[in-house]
Amino acid sequence: MAEPLTLALSKGRILEQTMPLLKPLGIEPLEDPATSRNLVLPTSDPNVRLIIVRATDVPTYVAYGGADLGVAGKDVLLEQGGHGLYEPVDLGIARCRLMVAGRPDADLEGRRIRVATKFVNVTRRHFAAQGRQVDLIKLYGSMELAPLVGLADAIVDLVDTGNTLRANGLAPLEPIADISARLVVNKGSMKLKHRAIKPMLGKIAESVDRNA
């Protein structure tokens, strides 16, 4: 009897871009995850089930063993620290960049600035590495609004096409990190379910190479 595995995914781009990587392994959800209200989804592989969680909760589920594996953005892993997890495969999906952004004419030098972001830990580290102390304002979304209404001098957010920044009259100012989604694995599962997980990692890496 093969070992049952639980894989944590988040709705939206992670789910949409992970499915094609799993299909060659014979893992396809038996109901449409985009429309289903079920949070536990059986797949065409009787030993693999998906659970649907918030993107920022994936590392928590996997670290505590609520799932054996998961797919998490590197931004989330950098912000939360990635404790208790292995991060064996860069899936190369959900690519974007973490950036400092602000008004195109923003002068951020020579004074203490206010930075609004949901990535407070990454932001603190980024400016500390430059020897700068900044005042952090924690937000949970719509960061682009903050410089427009004078809440902050700059933001730290994810940028892909730059359309969201442009639409709000903002510009990218400094890159922080290139981001893509990573396969994460519970450390205990990696040992105890090695026989199931090891070949799966290999096959997913092959899917990623074919995708590249």
Residues that bind ligand PRP (CB under 6 A): 141, 157-164
Closest residue to ligand ADP, judged by C-beta, is: 73
Residue 151, exposed/middle/buried by CB under 10 A (0-12, 13-18, 19+)?
A: middle
Q: Please report how close the Cβ of residue 171 comes to ligand PRP at its closest, in angstroms.
A: 12
Length of the chain: 212
Of residues 44 through 73, those in contact with ligand ADP by CB under 6 A are 55-56, 73
**Cα–Cα dist 79/122, whole Å:** 5
Nearer to ligand PRP, 7 or 179 (CB): 179
**Cα–Cα dist 14/95, whole Å:** 10
Name which of ligand PRP, ligand ADP, none residue 162 binds, using a CB cut-off of 5 to 8 Å depending on partner kind: ligand PRP
Name which of ligand PRP, ligand ADP, none residue 50 binds, using a CB cut-off of 5 to 8 Å depending on partner kind: none
- With a CB cutoff of 8 Å and minimum separation 6, the contacts of 33 are 9, 11, 15, 41, 50, 52
Could you tell me how many residues of this chain bind ligand ADP (CB under 6 A)? 16
Instruction: Confirm or reject binding of residue 97 to ligand ADP (CB under 6 A).
Output: no
Contact 162, 172 (CB under 8 A): yes
**Cα–Cα dist 106/200, whole Å:** 48
Q: State in Å, rounded, how far the first CA of the chain is from the last one.
A: 34
Chain position carrying tokens 């290999």: 202
Name which of ligand PRP, ligand ADP, none residue 163 binds, using a CB cut-off of 5 to 8 Å depending on partner kind: ligand PRP
Of residues 3 through 32, those in contact with ligand ADP by CB under 6 A are 10, 12-14
Q: Please report how close the Cβ of residue 188 comes to ligand PRP at its closest, in angstroms.
A: 31
Name which of ligand PRP, ligand ADP, none residue 75 binds, using a CB cut-off of 5 to 8 Å depending on partner kind: ligand ADP
Q: Please report how close the Cβ of residue 71 comes to ligand ADP at its closest, in angstroms.
A: 9
The alpha carbon torsion through 80, 86, 89, 94 (nearest 10 deg) reads -20
Interface residue list for ligand ADP (CB under 6 A): 10, 12-14, 55-56, 73, 75-76, 94-96, 158, 160, 179, 181
